[in-house]
A and B are shown apart, each in its own frame.
Chain A
């Protein structure tokens, strides 16, 4: 097991390096470089050249990459050409927002999917099953930006109320924080809940056909006990894996949700950085995202083996 984790961690290194190389190259292929953006159109050619030299933009691409990579390894992620502040500071401020959004999204998804999927599987081919599957299918088909926009629309039309903009940390003012996060989390979570409901349903249906369920029934256990203690426990193993693979989708949903509800999270930071051609910021955001996604995939695979003793990695 330790050997497996070590090997996966080692494999993660080239993946993340490759991501940064791709992004670094793409950023340099963008029309208009950092120097001319920083100085403006009025600057003379000489001024731009001087600034390029200062920023190291006149050096070959691979040299620029190594300078950047060396910086990253020593904790220096570069400065935003917009604010002249270290990009890592702004990222650090945005992470708690997106983390809370993602966590609340996952909780929403589980809270919806677990009962709904269980009801669907235990009432197979009855009305409640079809209803649950319809709710799930709607979740898969309604894009986050549509749902978010409609939520804002109905809140404004019916209640004349909109969530407070900006971000207030949970520990400063729990009520305001809750008002800010409930709806974005619903929007992000509903989509994941759709996939999860389907997964809970099909996985539970699978388990309910196993011999040990019949055994449990025939020793006189009540149906709810069998479902809860015998079936669900086993059925939830693949569902847990799904939560891990949903991290990427949650982050994509966060981009949309943070834009609609004006939450200053990583997604909105990314959109801002891209539109303002803030290279250093884009690179550090992408590095962070790639690490989060790769690590959560790794954690899921490891947890899988921990929870299910039948799964082993050599």
Chain B
């Protein structure tokens, strides 16, 4: 155990709680088989997103002579109408899909937490204006709002993250706002105000740690939604532009045109998209079971 110059152990200063809390959480999560399965799939997807280009046997853009070839030992998921290897293109397509999804969740959670917490804590005009803006955003279904944004800022990683983050912002914001309202008048908040803590300090040190559970649950639920929305957008022609492979776009356009001759063109990417959303949903459900004390037996 590390001992500081004053002779007090570092662990004693930091307190045993944060790490201990995480261990309890990890143990409970590990008892959720579906959650662990989802986590394994998600880790695999992240590995493919990071190292996919190194793992792939083929060049995703290289035109081959074998067009629309059925799956074989050489081409696990066959080839497309230009002779490109479908599995390689799927591996390349996971990167934009996963990057955009994580980016969008980060944007909506950070912005939603900031706006929601400040809104609930300060109240007044700021709260009123923010809630009306949230109402307005909520009046537009996901794909309508996403497409509107993407017509102004042409699709790229950044604009897709922004568009999907904006779509998910209202829910994140409302959850954080409601959770903040619930702890705002707790005794420990009053106590720290009496001790002269600034508002920033109260929000950062006392309110945020106490609303962490709902924020985590929302973030994991949003991950599946983000993959869903981004692949739907790219299916409709509002994804990262070609020639970069994009899972949603592989199911539309050429994939659809040739799918009756070569069903593997759409079945491969369709399976990967659905599997990644399923994994995210498993994780979300497991997290909710672990973190929501009302559901705990």
- Cα separation A238 to B236 with both chains bound (whole Å): 33
Q: Give the contacting residue for A289; candidates B140, B152, B235, B237; CB below 8 A.
A: B140
- Cα separation A14 to B139 with both chains bound (whole Å): 12
Set of chain A residues within 8 Å of B235, measured between Cβ atoms: 143, 145, 256
Q: A238-281: contact bitstring with B at CB < 8 Å (1 yes, 0 no)?
A: 00000000001101100110010000000100110011010000
Contact B141 A249 (CB under 8 A): yes
Set of chain A residues within 8 Å of B274, measured between Cβ atoms: 141-143, 146
Q: A17-44: contact bitstring with B at CB < 8 Å (1 yes, 0 no)?
A: 0110011001001100000000000000
Contact A271 B231 (CB under 8 A): no
The total of interchain contacts (Cβ-Cβ below 8 angstroms) comes to 122
Contact A255 B133 (CB under 8 A): no
Q: Judge if A197 is at the interface, Cβ distance under 8 Å.
A: no
- Cα separation A35 to B134 with both chains bound (whole Å): 33
Given A149-B256, A149-B259, A255–B144 Cβ distance below 8 Å? yes
Q: Judge if B228 is at the interface, Cβ distance under 8 Å.
A: yes
Given A255-B143, A259-B236, A274-B147, A150–B266 Cβ distance below 8 Å? yes
Q: Judge if A140 is at the interface, Cβ distance under 8 Å.
A: yes
Q: Give the contacting residue for B270; candidates A26, A149, A252, A271; CB below 8 A.
A: A149
Q: Judge if B277 is at the interface, Cβ distance under 8 Å.
A: yes
- Cα separation A24 to B126 with both chains bound (whole Å): 24
Contact B140 A146 (CB under 8 A): no
Set of chain A residues within 8 Å of B232, measured between Cβ atoms: 143-145, 252, 256
Q: A287-314: contact bitstring with B at CB < 8 Å (1 yes, 0 no)?
A: 0011001100000000000000000000
Q: How large is the interface on A (under 10, 10 to 19, 20 to 34, 35 or more residues)?
A: 35 or more
What is the interface of chain A mostly: helix, strand, loop, or mixed?
helix
B277 to chain A, nearest CB (A): 4
Q: Judge if A16 is at the interface, Cβ distance under 8 Å.
A: yes
- Cα separation A137 to B275 with both chains bound (whole Å): 11
- Cα separation A234 to B256 with both chains bound (whole Å): 45
B166 to chain A, nearest CB (A): 11
10 additional contacts, CB 8 Å, given A137-B281, A141-B281, A249-B142? A11-B135, A137-B278, A143-B231, A143-B277, A145-B251, A248-B141, A259-B236, A286-B144, A286-B148, A293-B139
| 23 pairs of residues in contact across A and B, judged by CB atoms under 8 Å | A26-B148, A137-B278, A137-B282, A140-B224, A141-B275, A141-B278, A143-B235, A145-B231, A149-B251, A149-B259, A153-B260, A153-B266, A255-B236, A256-B232, A259-B236, A271-B147, A274-B148, A275-B237, A277-B151, A289-B139, A289-B141, A293-B139, A294-B135
Query: Which B residues form the contact surface with A (CB < 8 A)?
Result: 132-133, 135-136, 138-144, 147-149, 151-152, 224, 228, 231-232, 235-237, 248, 251-252, 256, 259-260, 263, 266-267, 270, 273-275, 277-278, 281-282
